[in-house]
Structure 1
Amino acid sequence: MWDLDVNCMYVPLNVGKHWISMCVNFVTRSIEVFDCGGLRHPGAVEPFVVLIPRIVKAVQSSKSRQYHVKQYTVSYASMPFLLNKSSSDCGVYALKHIECHLLGLDFSLVNDNNIREARQKIAYDLWEAAIDLVLIERMAKFTPPITISSALVELE
């Protein structure tokens, strides 16, 4: 259940040719945005602010349909000045900001001095997963869960 079993959801988001990430908190009804460039992206974030509460209400069990649709608040995490000078590592920054937030670490740990190693580590982890025989076997046997499908869900 949203805001009971799942407290928050992390979202990497492409904004033009730039990657940012967000933490959607279902308990506090807020969205925290992480952008290594320190910029604001209201056009990209605004749809989440409006739609997420409506989606959460639509997927609630019938017992908790009293959920009130209210827009989420948005805040932008403070970032060090002139981060990501090369501007080609914004995707790595977006993933590392999610990791730092999730683990409660300070964002200053991810900086231009260590982002190259972070990029290489992410690439290696993906490569390692791609050749993992156990993971390949599990993925080959995966069947999606049976879902209850219905016609359109009306969002108020």
Structure 2
Amino acid sequence: MLDLNIPGRGQFNLHHLVLDFNGTIAFGGELISGVGERIQLLSREMEIHVITADTNGSVVRQCEGLPVTVQILKSENHTDEKGEFVRGLEGVLCMGNGANDESMFAESDLAIVIAGREGCATATLLKSDLVIEDINDGLDLLLNPKRLIATLRK
């Protein structure tokens, strides 16, 4: 568990990290360099979930050997399905970039939008607590939580 006491925002006991795949931890269906190593380190503190429509059909192969659970979306409404998934968890930080991440951001305790090479959807951006350009920088905030606290304090 990752415990954060953010002045002006309160105490956050984060048990789960929910990551979108394409556009967030992967580009063009391929895991972004450095992400796997950071996931290995973070898995000591949090349960990590990768949730995706799997546009490129590569998530299982790319996440093989990583300490994550992979959830491939099956419904017609990916936005609602992602929100329902997060609603079933307690103590959640989400990272994503797409329009279908909006609902999971609304349901999470903290949400970080990754505005990387694919950009980010405005609706999801507006539900986020923080905007980061690079996924590795976002994951590093969790590995060095004082940086995250400094950014989010009021």
| Greater RCO structure (CA 8 Å; 6+ sep) | 2
Query: Which has the larger share of strand?
Result: 2
State the TM-score, normalizing by the size of structure 2: 0.29
Query: Which has the larger share of helix?
Result: 1
The higher radius of gyration belongs to 1
